[in-house]
């Protein structure tokens, strides 16, 4: 059985993730870069994503790069070296679930999934 040190617990708490995220290895800033690159690679239209990402960040200035990446890593159950097809499936599933659960944001009054808006924002920041 995996043991968790007190130090690990404190580190996770300090990053705001809490105990639920303890199993997630992708918490280091360097890992976010890999995730963001992987997400950017999925965008077949980076210009459009970039435009929406900028509009989202303008309207939601509190959204910060590492926090968005951390949240997406959690929600997509992302692992380092995750196959692109698996990440695409997870991203699509999450976007569909967002719409189903009304987890949406308004960007210039467009009803977008929270996940896709953050996806677009991370592409902007990549």
Partner 1 sequence: MFTDARELETGTTLEVDLCVVGAGAAGLAVTLELLDSSCSIAVVESGGRGPSDRTQQLAAGRARGRLFGRNNRYLSATRTRAFGGLGEDWHGSCRALDPEDLIVRSWVPASGWPIDAATLDPYNARARSLFGIDVPARRDERTGLLAADDAFESSWLDYSPRPSIAERFRGRFAQAGNVNVLTHANVVEIALDEGGRRVVDLVARCLDGPELVVRARYFVLAAGALENARLLLASNGQRPHGIGNENDLVGRFFMEQVEMRAAYVALPGQRRAMAGYDAVQAGDGGLHPVRAIMRPSARLQARHELLNSLITFSPVAAADIGELASHVGRLAAATARLDSDSTPDAAAEPYFGAVTLRSEQPPERRSRLVLGAERDELGVPRIDLAWRFDDHVVWSLRTTARLLGENLGRRLLGRLQLRATGRVNRRRFRWSAHQSGTTRMSREPSEGVIDTDCRLHDVSNLFVAGSSVFPTSGCSGPMLTVVALSLRLGEHLRRLLASP
Which residues lie near partner 1 (CB under 8 A)?
Answer: 42-45, 47-49, 51-52, 55, 85, 88-89, 91-92, 95-96, 98-100, 102, 104, 106-113, 116, 120
- CB of 13 or CB of 48, closer to partner 1: 48
Kindly state the smallest distance separating residue 114's Cβ from partner 1, in Å. 11
Cα 101–chain centre separation: 17
- CB of 17 or CB of 46, closer to partner 1: 46
| Alpha carbons 76 and 89: distance in angstroms, whole number | 9
Tell me the Cα Rg of the chain: 15
51 φ, ψ to 5°? -65, -40
The count of other CB atoms within 10 Å of the CB of residue 73 is 25
Kindly state the smallest distance separating residue 18's Cβ from partner 1, in Å. 28
Q: Which residues pair with 112 in a beta bridge?
A: 105
- CB of 27 or CB of 52, closer to partner 1: 52
């Amino acid at each position: 059985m995996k043991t968790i040190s007190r130090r690990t617990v404190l580190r996770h708490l300090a990053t705001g993730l809490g105990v639920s995220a303890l199993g997630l290895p992708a918490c280091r800033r360097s890992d976010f870069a890999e995730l963001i690159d992987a997400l950017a690679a999925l965008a077949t239209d980076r210009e459009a994503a970039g435009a929406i990402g900028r509009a989202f960040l303008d309207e939601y200035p509190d959204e910060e790069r590492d926090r968005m990446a951390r949240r997406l890593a959690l929600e997509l159950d992302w692992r380092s070296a995750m196959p692109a097809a698996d990440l695409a499936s997870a991203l699509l599933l999450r976007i569909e679930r967002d719409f189903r659960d009304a987890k949406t944001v308004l960007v210039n009054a467009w009803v977008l999934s929270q996940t896709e808006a953050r996806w677009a924002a991370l592409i902007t920041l990549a």
